[in-house]
Amino acid sequence: MGKEVTAMNRYALRYCMGQSVRSLSRNAWLAIITSGLIAISLIILGGFLLVTTNVNQFIRNVESNVEVSVFLHDDVDSTELQGRIDELDGVVQQTFVSKEEGLQEFGQTMGDPSLLRDLEGENNPLPDLIRVRVEEPEKVAAVAETIQAYPEVELVDYGEELVARLMQITSRLNYLFLILGISIALGAVFLIINIIRLSAVARQEEVVVMKYMGASNGYIRFPFLMEGMVMGWTGTVIAVLTLGLIYYQLASSFGQDSLILLFQPVMDMERLLPIFIGLAIVGTLMSGFGSFVSIRKYLRV
Amino acid sequence: MIEMKNVSKLYEGSDEVALNNMSLHLDPGEFLFLVGPSGAGKSTLIKLLFREQLPTEGSIFFENKDVTKYKKRELLEHRRRIGMVFQDYKLIKQKTIFENVAFALEVLGYSPRSIRKRVPEALEKVGLAHKAKSFPRELSGGEQQRVGVARAIVKDPVLILADEPTGNLDRDNALQLMRLFEKINEEGTTVVIATHAWDLVDRMQKRVVSLTAGELTRDGQGGYSNE
């Protein structure tokens, strides 16, 4: 054969690409639905990852902003207690709030201090309070526990319930997202397998002839693999763009909203990029796997 | 060119041997008829030579290489050196005659330029240059089979293997096809044809190998039944 086939790969590749395109256009609707399904499953999967990342950040914010509120028994000497609290590991700041100040603050949060006029003086139901700030979120629980043990202290509260509930809700949500994403992904893989099967059947005649002409297995299989990959990549691109756009919109509207101070959406590329790259890899793997299974099963060469 | 030694073939799940202890020597440039009734092992022999099947026992050498020990690349190279012609033509319906013949070169990675040169030459040889733009369904059986031959010779094979090539053709077309094979053979290509068309074999007077129930029963020059 000599010189005539030196450019083999270029021509073979061109032929293979042509075949993939022809096959895809023959089953265009099915291909579009499959790409769509891949996109949806990836969007759900990606949504799950983005929500998780943001919730984790939120929890960290909540924890780091948590103050330990130490409610004191009536008529105890707080100065000595404050001295002890100062020595605890991790404590960076503490503020004493007398019951009078507490009532005033409460009134302000309610919007009209005059509402609480009746509760002033002897009638004040609030205890004295020390607000303790801890430098690292991990140390909050330990500090709270130690302070609770002091005799002057009636109650310690640091929002552990809020954190625990948040974690509970998100872990349930995570499961839901994960199961949904995986089911749809499986559906998409099944569709890919079937589309490739259809093309394999449609081109059976050609495949047999190719084999007799001495075409290599790779040469025969490559167009089918490409067909699956094209669907996969189309879906992946749609998913990444859609998800990116939705996320950007949501994140910027959240970011502007000063009411939700604690919730700052994750915007740094260092943490977002791996998610989107991961989605692209998953999409590629899905289509590659689907094509591979189908070729193995339906394309006997 | 081909050296078969004590080749036996037993298909899985069958207890009848398709070929039994067969030896055969074929020189380059020979023209050989494989004859015998259906089920005698003609197709099996063709499949073994194309290395579509492996023998259960024995060895087959093609140009001094053991075909049973081929690596992947060698197997492809082997098939590229052999042109196959089938009883049912195996043309691709959606492709034109030109495209069908070109396909044999495309899958082997020939450049478009050499495809444009070789395909018309091959079609010219089989007398169908004027049908290049037709589709297989627009051609008669005899013409379709000649396209099959053009596709087999377009890559300049050293060996043509034809399994019942005239099985679907009438007498005139069949004879015309045999003359075409003869012409190709005269240009230097080795030709092996499996057939049970005894009248054609009688007319051609070539080397004839007879198979009966998987056994080689005769190997000699002449007609179908050597009478």
- For residues B118 and B108, what is the distance between their CA atoms, to the nearest angstrom? 13
State which H helix or E strand residue A99 sits in.
Answer: helix A99-110
- Top residue of A8, A212, A221, A301 to mutate, by most chain B CBs within 10 Å, is A212
Which one of A136-145, A268-277, B11-20, B161-170 scores highest in mean pLDDT?
Answer: B161-170
Provide the pLDDT for residue A63: 66
Tell me the per-residue pLDDT of A37-59, one tens digit each, with 9 for 90 and over: 889 888 888 888 888 788 777 77
Separation in Å, CA of B134 to nearest CA in chain A = 18
Task: Find the distance separating the first CA and the last CA of chain A, reported in whole Å.
Answer: 24
Residue B42 in this model has a pLDDT that exceeds 80: yes
Q: Is B23 helix (H, G, I), strand (E, B) or coil?
A: strand
Chain A residues close to B80, C-beta within 8 Å = 1, 214
What value does the mean pLDDT of chain B take? 92
DSSP assignment, residue B186?
H
Radius of gyration of the CA atoms of chain B, in A: 17
Tell me the per-residue pLDDT of B154-179, one tens digit each, with 9 for 90 and over: 999 999 999 999 998 999 999 999 99
Tell me the per-residue pLDDT of B210-225, one tens digit each, with 9 for 90 and over: 999 999 999 988 877 7
Place of tokens 């625990």: A164
A1·B103 Cβ contact <8 A: no
Report if residue B7 sits inside a domain.
Answer: no
What value does the mean pLDDT of chain A take? 80
- For residues A14 and A16, what is the distance between their CA atoms, to the nearest angstrom? 5
Residue A174 in this model has a pLDDT that exceeds 80: no
Provide the pLDDT for residue A7: 42
Domains of chain A: residue spans and CATH: 2-62+163-298 (no CATH), 67-158 (3.30.70.3040)
Provide the pLDDT for residue A258: 47
Report if residue B93 sits inside a domain.
Answer: yes
- Top residue of A213, A216, A221 to mutate, by most chain B CBs within 10 Å, is A213
B103·A209 Cβ contact <8 A: yes
Separation in Å, CA of A294 to nearest CA in chain B = 22
**Nearest CB neighbour to A215, from listed B77, B86, B107:** B107
Q: Is B178 helix (H, G, I), strand (E, B) or coil?
A: helix
B69: left (phi over 0), alpha (psi -120 to 50) or beta: alpha
* Residue range of the domain that includes B95: 89-156
Domain count, chain B: 1
- B120-129 burial, b at 16+ Cβ within 10 Å, e below that, comes to bebbebbebb
Tell me the per-residue pLDDT of A69-120, one tens digit each, with 9 for 90 and over: 888 888 888 888 888 888 888 888 888 888 888 888 877 777 777 777 777 7
Q: What is the mean pLDDT of residues A144-167?
A: 80
Cα dihedral: A49, A55, A56, A57 (round 10): 110
A vs B, Cβ pairs < 8 A, gives 60
Residue A256 in this model has a pLDDT that exceeds 90: no
Q: What is the mean pLDDT of residues A269-290?
A: 87
Provide the pLDDT for residue B175: 93
Place of tokens 């989107």: A276
